Amino acid sequence: MTVNERVREIRKAKKLTLEKFGEKLGVGKTAISSIEHGINGVTDQMIKLMSKEFSVNENWLRTGDGEMFPEFDRANAIAKLADDIMTEVPDSFKSRLVTALAQMTDEQWKLLEDITYKVVGGEYPLSQNKTDDT
């Protein structure tokens, strides 16, 4: 399978039209169609953008080795969020939210944990058990 075919696989896996897929990457549906059909190559910048935007294994996209979507890794998720925040406008919602979180007291963290627990229906996301390491 070529990199162009893997681009199509990503789009299909995400259940996006050519137009919606292109919008997320800042290009038109014609550009995506041309890539998928092998008319145009995939630039290094586009590969990096697709990997970031769609949480795709960059190595898989380039070579076909490994899994299309890597297993969730908390450290990588945090690193991705930090990277997103650093590349967005300083007053973006993500930036304001993380700034607010960084200033929270232990009591506020506990309150947020309790609210989150209720919102997700009594299950702690990304954890098998409730922990006290807030």
Residues 52-65: tens digit of each pLDDT = 899 899 999 999 99
User: For tokens 């300083």, what's the residue?
Assistant: 90
Q: What is the mean pLDDT of residues 10-26?
A: 95
What pLDDT does 39 receive?
95
Q: Which CATH number fits domain 3-63: 1.10.150.120, 1.10.260.40, 3.40.470.10, 3.40.50.150?
A: 1.10.260.40
Confidence of residue 79 (pLDDT cuts 50, 70, 90): confident
Q: What is the domain partition of the chain in residue ranges?
A: 3-63, 89-119
Rg (CA), the chain: 19
* 102/85 Cα distance (integer angstroms): 14
CB 133 within 8 A of CB 110: no
Global confidence as pTM: 0.57
pLDDT at position 128: 46
Instruction: Report whether pLDDT(85) > 60.
Output: yes
CA 25 to CA 52: how far, in whole Å? 10
Q: Give the amino acid at 63.
A: T
Contact in structure between 7 and 36 (CB atoms under 8 Å): yes
